[in-house]
Structure formats: structure tokens, C-alpha cells
Amino acid sequence: MISLTVILVYIIIALGVQTGLIAAHYNEKHESAKEIAPGEVRMMYREYEPPGRDFWFGTDLFGRDVFQMTLYGVRTALMIGLITSLIAIPIGVLFGAVAGYFGGIIDEIVVWFYSAVASIPSLLLLISLSLLLGRGLKGVYLAIGLTSWVSLCRLVRGEVTKIKRMEYVQAARALGASHTRIIFRHIIPNLFHLIIISFTLGFCYAIKSEVILSYLGIGVELGQPSWGNMIQTARQELLRGVWWQFGAATLAMFFIVLAFNLFGDALRDALDPRLKT
Amino acid sequence: MLRYIIRRLLYSLTLVAGVMLVLFLLYHVLGGSEMVVMRMVGKHATPQEIQNLRHMYGFDKGYPAQLREIVWKCLTFDFGRSISTRQKISTMLYEGAGPSLTLMLPAFIITVLLAISVALLCAYKRNSLFDRTIVVLSVGGMSISIMAYIILGQYLLAYKMRLFPISGYEPGLQAARYILLPLIIYVAVSTGSDVRLYRTFILNEINQDYVRTALAKGVGIMRLLFKHVLKNAMIPIITQVVIEVPFLIMGSLLLENFFGIPGLGNMSIEALGNWDFPVLMAVTYLGSLLFIVGNLLSDILYAVVDPRVRLV
């Protein structure tokens, strides 16, 4: 229940950012007047201001509010989690269901293809694809989405080979339902538990991958606040004792990933009684 | 038995072919596309520069010729020369494997042993405070980004407390100084998820009938756990371990990169920065090949140990 609340809070923040109600000034550079030499006053960025009353999580090199950047990062992270799932889940479900349902040569080809993809070290595949697709959110969506469908595909295929022998599928066929109708109306709705569990896992994977890709300079564009970009900048800042940007991004990420992990466990216990942990 | 082995072997060969196909699609079809080439040469490149680059990567040949070339390179293990360093790639692979193994082998062994012992203890004291603390800790640990472990570990332990060198590497026994911190971080990152997984495997066994029978016969709890349960739970655990072994030679990309260990992982990240497709392809192929061979070996091993497998 707590995990669901955390996820909801993050979703509300993301929606707030999307509509411009929250963190609209994330890119604003704050300045303050400082006296350089006696009598000479100059406007300066309020760079690296520690957390305080004005800036809850401090400011970065350009005097930007780290708190607002972290909130903006919520939107980026949720977008990445959502869109990569929207890419990976249809691929996995469709190929898995078709392979399991028809069997024979189609099954052999699908199994062969996902086994070959699964043999390739996943991080290398991910960074190569991301490099080729180019820096930016679109590349990140595609790279993570196209590399994370295999495990769901394998699960779905296994489940469908079992489901297709069940009476209700045979009954549907006896009534003259077409293959497409059986797959989409009768089989896929019964895979819902696999899909939702895999969605929570995929979400964590996507958020974690974004951080790695952004660190390597092939992730989200620098102008776009994301936790990965914040952690990457924070690496140099730490040496100057500026810990708040690193801490804010890491904590924000920790809570959402933890919530999804716990939520996924609870779902698994509730929906898939065979896998009691 | 022999028929089974031959069948698995042939299947593995088709997987290797599949990997080659994916590499071709990735580094030649997508990599050689207009979009990627333009980004490699930059906006203001002359047609001549574009032509040179396409020639250097072999994109100017037709797709069938490029595919033939990949297959040939993968079969002979002669990947040509690196685009950025001009070194022979096979030599680079050979030299990079050592440092990667030096870090990963001890790290992996410690992680597996630690995770199995903790998981057994958890299963032994199921639902106790200890068990719950460990489960909470491992879920919590899994939720922290690996970057946070690395950056914080390097900053606090190496930079602030000066317990370890910040980065670097020396071959031979001197390596111990440099690999200690990445090793600790590796263990910290991977033990959590392993404990959870192994604990599930062990708990699955505990609910079996033979455990109840043994308990009814009056077998002691320690003997039951270590002799009966662990032996059976080792099957899924070993499968998991065998799957991970081939990745040892690849090293951990991020750890090697942060700590300046000149292994295969670091090599791939440098290749990434230099658009060095031949090196990336060679490392990816090596990793995939090791994975397929490892799976083949474990399949055969199971068939030897468990006669039921051969019938499938």
C-alpha cells in the first residue's frame, strides 16, 4: 500500500510538471548581487548554494534550483518507464503469443531469434543501440524498449503453450472463432498478470538504464533535466564537496525503484500463486 | 546421449549465426545508415570525407558482402584492426581479458558464496527478524543505482578516507591494491538480488514432500537444510551461476571504467566514445559466444547428471 502511494505521488508530480504547475522554473538561473571589491557590486549566479530555506536541495553550477530539477526528473523518468514499456510489452506479448499459439516452425523461429538476442550481453547491446540511435529521449526510449522485450516474450510463450490446450480455447475454436480473435480476445486477457508484473520490472530496468546511458553521454540531452544527467554532473561536483545534486537524484530514484520493486513483489504474490517468495 | 549432445551443439551453432545476424543489423545496417554516418562525420563534412569514412568501416560494399565479411571475421576470430588505436583487435581482446578476470573472478566467487550462505540462513530462520531484515536490505540495495554505489564508494572510501587508490591498475600481485575497492562494490551491488533469488529457490524446496518426510523421520534441522534441501536447491542455483560465468571475462563495464582497469569492459566504453564499431562488435561477439558455449556445457552436464533431461 505504501509502495502504491509512493508511485501515485510520483505520478502526480509528473503530471504537475507536464502541465506546468510544478517545477516550471527548473531552468531559471538565480542571481544575486555580491560585493566583489569594496564599492563594486556585481550580479553573480548563486552557484552551489547548499540546501536551505530558499533552495531546499541547494543550487547547481548555474544557480538552478536542484529541487525543481529533481521534480522535473520525475517526469523524465516516468516518461522513459512508460514509453519503453509501451514499446517492449507489445513486442514481447505479440511474438510470445503467436509463437506459443501456432507452435511449429513459427515457434522455432521466434524462440531462435529471442535466444540469439538473449545471448548478447544486454548492457553492450543497450549501449550500442543507444549510440547508434543518437543522443536524446527518442533514442533512449527505442534503445531500452527494443532490448527489454525478451524475458516477457519467453514467459508469454510458455504460458500460451499451456493455455491453448485449455477447454475455453477449444470451445472458442469449436464456435468458429478465428485465430486472431482467440489470441486477442481469449488468450491475451489471461496473460494480464504476466504483463503487469513484467511492467513493474521493466519500469525499474528502464529508470536504472537511463542513468547509465546518460552517464556514458549517450542518454538524455544535457538540457533536459534527468536523474542520469544530474548524477553525471554530480560526479565532478562531489570532489568540491557539493553533495546535494547527487543526493537528490539518487534518493528520488531510490524511492520510485523501491516502490516498484515492492509493488511488483506484492503483485506477484497476489496474481501468481506458484511463485511465492 | 550422443544424439542429444549433437542436437544441442547444432542448435547452439544456429544461435551463433543468429548473433552474427543481429551484429550485422546493428553495426552495418543501422550503423551504416545515412543517419548514423552523418552524425559520425559531423555537419560540415565534404562528400569526400563521407566517402572515406564509409570506406573505412566497409559500408561502401553491398550488404551481402558485408554480411559475408562478418561471418568470416567471427569464424576466424580475426577482427582486423581497431579504428581508433590501429591495434589488432584479437590482441586487444587477449590483453583485456586478464585484468577483467582478475577483478571479476574473486568478486564473483565471493558474491556467490556469500549469497548462498545468507540465503540458507534466511531460509533456516524463515520469517524471523533476521530473515526480514535481510529481505528488506536486499530489496533496498537492489533499488539503489549502481552509479550511486560506485560514485559514493569511490568518493568516500578512496578520495576522502584514502583507504584505496582512486583508480589505476598494475598487472601481477600489485593488482590486488587496485581491485579491492571495485571488488567490494561489486559484491555490495550483486549480493542483494542473488540472496533474494537463492532464498526463493531454497524456500521452494522446503515446501516439498520429501522435506516433510525427512522431518517426520526425525532428521535434525541442520542436517535437513544442508544435506537434503541445499543439494536439491543447488540445481537452480548452479543454472543461475553458469549463466553468469561467461560474463566474468567481459568484466563490469562501469566498474572498469570508473576505476581505470584496462579490461574488456573499459575497452568497450572507450570504443563507444570513438565510434569504434569493429572493437564493439568483437567484444559483443566474444561475450555472446561465451554465453552460448556456457549454456551448451551446462545442458550437457545436466543430461549427464539427470537422465530425465535426455528424453526432452
What tens digit of pLDDT does each residue of B242-281 get?
A: 777 777 776 688 899 889 899 899 999 999 988 899 999 9
The CATH number of the domain where A248 resides is what?
A: 1.10.3720.10
Residue B305: the pLDDT is: 72
Q: Where are the alpha helices (DSSP H) in A2-103?
A: 2-19, 66-102
pLDDT above 70: residue B44: yes
What is the rounded average pLDDT of the residues A57-62? Answer: 77
- What's the pLDDT band for B309 if we cut at 50, 70, 90? low
Q: Dump pLDDT digits (tens) for B187-205.
A: 998 998 899 889 888 888 8
Residue B234: the pLDDT is: 82
User: Within a domain: residue A144?
Assistant: yes
Distance CA(A245)–CA(B8), nearest Å, equals 51
pTM of the model: 0.87
User: Within a domain: residue A83?
Assistant: yes
- What's the pLDDT band for A277 if we cut at 50, 70, 90? very low
Give B98-161 as a DSSP string.
HHHHHHHHHHHHHHHHHHHHHHHHHHHTTTSHHHHHHHHHHHHHHHS-HHHHHHHHIIIIIIIS
Q: Please, what is the Cα angle at A275 between A272 and A276, to 5 degrees?
A: 105
| CB within 8 Å of chain A, chain B residues 66-125 | none
User: Does B288 reach chain A within 8 Å, measured CB to CB?
Assistant: yes
User: Hey, are the CB atoms on B291 and A218 less than 8 Å from each other?
Assistant: no
Query: What residues of B are in contact with residue A212 (Cβ under 8 Å)?
Result: 146-147, 254
pLDDT above 80: residue B5: yes
- What's the pLDDT band for B311 if we cut at 50, 70, 90? low
pLDDT above 90: residue A112: yes
pLDDT above 90: residue A101: yes
**What's the N-to-C CA distance of chain A in angstroms?**
18
Reduce the DSSP state of residue B162 to 3 states and report it: coil
Distance CA(A10)–CA(B251), nearest Å, equals 35
Query: What residues of A are in contact with residue B19 (Cβ under 8 Å)?
Result: 116, 119-120
CB pairs under 8 A between A and B: 119
Q: What is the ipTM of this complex?
A: 0.87
User: Hey, are the CB atoms on B139 and A262 less than 8 Å from each other?
Assistant: yes
Phi, psi of A149 (to 5 degrees): -95, -15
User: Within a domain: residue A2?
Assistant: no
User: Within a domain: residue A55?
Assistant: no
Query: What residues of A are in contact with residue B31 (Cβ under 8 Å)?
Result: 132
Place of cell 542455483: B237
Which residues does residue A37 pair with via DSSP β-bridges, in sequence order? A40
pLDDT above 60: residue A1: yes
| CB within 8 Å of chain B, chain A residues 13-52 | none
User: Within a domain: residue A115?
Assistant: yes
Q: Please, what is the Cα angle at A8 between A233 and A226, to 5 degrees?
A: 15
User: Within a domain: residue A202?
Assistant: yes
Query: What residues of A are in contact with residue B21 (Cβ under 8 Å)?
Result: 116
pLDDT above 70 covers what percent of chain B?
97
Distance from CA of A255 to the nearest CA of B (A): 8
User: Within a domain: residue A152?
Assistant: yes
Q: What mean pLDDT is reported for chain A? A: 87
pLDDT above 70: residue A105: yes
Residue B310: the pLDDT is: 64
Distance from CA of B239 to the nearest CA of A (A): 15
User: Within a domain: residue A59?
Assistant: no
Residue A13: the pLDDT is: 86
Residue A84, C-beta contacts closer than 8 angstroms, at least 6 positions apart: A141, A144, A145, A148, A202, A206
- What's the pLDDT band for A157 if we cut at 50, 70, 90? very high
Residue-range definition of the domain harbouring residue A128? 76-271
Which DSSP symbol is given to A25? T
Q: How many domains does chain A have?
A: 1
User: Hey, are the CB atoms on A121 and B273 less than 8 Å from each other?
Assistant: no
Residue B312: the pLDDT is: 53
- What's the pLDDT band for B38 if we cut at 50, 70, 90? confident
Q: Dump pLDDT digits (tens) for B104-144.
A: 999 999 999 999 989 988 888 888 899 999 988 999 988 88
What is the 3-class SS of B203-255, one letter each residue? Answer: HHHHCCHHHHHHHHHCCCHHHHHHHHHHHHHHHHHHHHHHHHHHHHCCCCHHH
pLDDT above 90: residue B308: no
